Amino acid sequence: MSKSAQRLNRLFDKLERKIPPKAAGLLSRIRRPEARWIRIPLGILLVLGGIFSFLPVLGIWMLPLGLLLLAVDLIFLQSPVNFSILRGSRYWTTWQRKRRDRKNAPKS
């Protein structure tokens, strides 16, 4: 297993710990090797839904999830997806800390 695939598995494991148990169970079943024929079309549909996020039911959240699912099978996507997810999560953490610090800062 390549380094990118191992990192992708760790990202999926982290995601499974953060989401509700039912969704985590579904995600773990979709990650199995035999679910490839479900995972690829689902990934494509999620990416398309993310692209059309201006429509009422669809959302931008679909794009990264679809790319994550596609990266399991498409090796050329693993590195960019890993990089984007790690960079995005670091940015999100930094933003949350700055927001929390501003909120808790003493008012003068």
How confident is the model over 48-87, as pLDDT tens digits? 988 887 777 778 888 888 998 999 999 899 999 889 888 9
For residue 107, being part of any structural domain is answered with: no
Indicate the number of domains in the chain: 1
Average pLDDT (33-57) is 88
For residue 106, being part of any structural domain is answered with: no
Helix 36-51 × helix 21-31 angle, to 10°:
120
CA distance 92 to 44: 25
What range defines the domain where residue 15 resides? 3-101
Using 50, 70 and 90 to split pLDDT, how confident is the model at 43?
Answer: very high
For residue 55, being part of any structural domain is answered with: yes
How confident is the model over 87-103, as pLDDT tens digits? 988 898 999 999 888 88
pTM of the predicted model as reported, rounded to 2 decimal places: 0.75
Taking a C-beta distance cutoff of 8 angstroms, is the pair 16, 27 a contact? yes
